[in-house]
Amino acid sequence: MSNATAPKNTTAFYVQSMIAFGLALTAVTFGIWYLPVDAWIRAFLIVASLFMVSSTFTLAKCVRDAQESTTVLERLDQKLLAEREWYPPTS
């Protein structure tokens, strides 16, 4: 039985991700603000960008939850097998 733990993100990676997200959001906001278009087009682009950002967070959470549920089930199966000291027959 393996006692391997899932790799953790470093603080530097977390900070880099936050800075990249902030820069990207700032660049898009700046670009939309200075577009030579009417206000209603600008408002549409802002709403679409906000929807895209919130959808991205939701998708990332769904992917993470699916991955964690698989990992938890695998660990639970290993623990149950170890507690019962029963292993499937080998061929």
Q: What is the pTM of this model?
A: 0.61
Name which residue leads in pLDDT, 71 or 28. 28
Name which residue leads in pLDDT, 79 or 34. 34
What distance lies between CA 72 and its chain's CA centroid? 17
Residue 2 has pLDDT above 60, yes or no: no
Tokens of 59: 């998708």
Q: How far apart are CA 33 and CA 49, in angstroms?
A: 12
Each residue of 36-87: pLDDT tens digit? 999 999 999 999 999 999 999 999 999 988 888 877 767 766 777 666 665 5
Q: How confident is the model at residue 1, as a pLDDT? A: 45
Contacting residues for 29 by C-beta, under 8 A, at least 6 apart:
46, 49
Amino acid in position 50? L
